[in-house]
Amino acid sequence: MPALDATHDPARRSHVEDANLPDCDFPIQNLPYGAFSLDGGAVRVGVAIGSRILDLTLLEAEGLLRPGDNDGAVKVFQSGVLNPFMALEQSRWTDTRRRIADLLDAGADLPSAVRALIDRALVPRAAARMHLPFYARGFTDFYASREHATNVGTMFRGADNALMPNWLHIPVGYNARASTVVVSGTDIRRPLGQLRGPEDAAPRLAPSRKLDFELELGAVVGGANPMGQPVTVAAAYDMIFGYVLLNDWSARDIQVWEYQPLGPFQAKVFGTSVSPWVVTRDALEPFRVATPPRETPLLPYLSETAPGNFDIHLEVALSPRDGGETVISRTNSRFMYYSAAQQLAHHSLCGCAMETGDLLGSGTVSGPPRDSCGSLLELTWNGRDPIEVDGGARTFLEDGDTVVLRGYCADGYRVGFGVCAGTILPAPSAAEFGGEE
């Protein structure tokens, strides 16, 4: 199990002054990784520190960072994505984090040439364009919140049959599309699909009218396992490089028609947004918490010997095109019934090879009260109970709406994720495909 070290010291301060503010998402204890560019230039790898980005591509090229090997011959920050770095041994992740923290420490006694290079490598976040920080090799979405699964099951099957018989025994999931995983700030176009209402004799082609968001936590896999070789929950925990906020946009009216018998398909694959900063597993170590108590014992391969969840405060805000921002949900990832490590271990049980860059979505994060639900489907109870936002009421998303996810841990300092945002654009013309506008 990873141990706490000097990088977690709440008294540590950075020479980037605004990183030391109490409400800063990116203090020296965080150091999340991302991919950025400046003025249309090449995509580079960096870490967020206060209002700045430390350019790791530059520091590696100059030999100040040597994450790939001790001689600096193996370069891992030159391709504009994190995959080469995430594919290294886990000890390299930890050593690199410690080295970066030492370079940014306010009390560090650094040679003047090193200090000058660091100053040159610090660029304003406000001037940077963020890119997808890793190449998403595959994407699997789970259904790991008991509250969410119970709410949805109650809506469509009744309270007595809310959870399916398998739900308390396995982390339920499905393979989604990595090709439409996009970085925060990318617009999302309303999807077309087959719709069939309860009174319709046949489906029709039209834009989704029940477009929704899903507040999720995404686990980014660094370590790999060979095909045919399952991994334990403990090994799965160590394989996870870090976490992102994830919005798995969902078309509920398309989903309800298509999901039987094989589950979600076009209702989900049109777009998935992730936050641009990958918060490392190492940074989250002080915030580990146990999964909720088990009503039904799990099979031994899913047993955790150490806490696998994290105490991450999460919120969702919605802004109409002509209105201000309204926070519509506040919840916490500690409610998740299955941890990301349990999800990954179950994924590998059959012998599935997990690869560097695989993305695991937690499924919608919902808590017990209604205002802690992570989707409009639950917040409005499938449109029955509209919610008020600045600019008008909502049951589901309208064109021009912007959804923003935020998350952070806090205990003497904040470890924040930044934002995961997306704006809804109108659907393509359905008439071009023989449908209804």
Active site residues: 148
> CA 186, CA 258: separation in Å to the nearest integer?
26
Place of tokens 């605004």: 18
Separation CA 207–CA 436 (nearest Å): 8
Q: For 229, what's the count of Cα atoms within 13 Å in the CB-facing half-sphere?
A: 8
Q: How far apart are CA 415 and CA 31, in angstroms?
A: 9
Q: What is the chain's Cα-based Rg?
A: 22
Q: What is the H or E stretch that residue 193 is in? A: strand 192-195
Q: How far apart are CA 389 and CA 323, in angstroms?
A: 8
Residue appearing with tokens 């994290």: 310
DSSP 411: S
**What is the C-alpha separation between 32 and 45, in angstroms, rounded?**
11
Q: Which amino acid is at 83?
A: N
Angle between helices 112-121 and 90-104 (to 10 degrees): 100
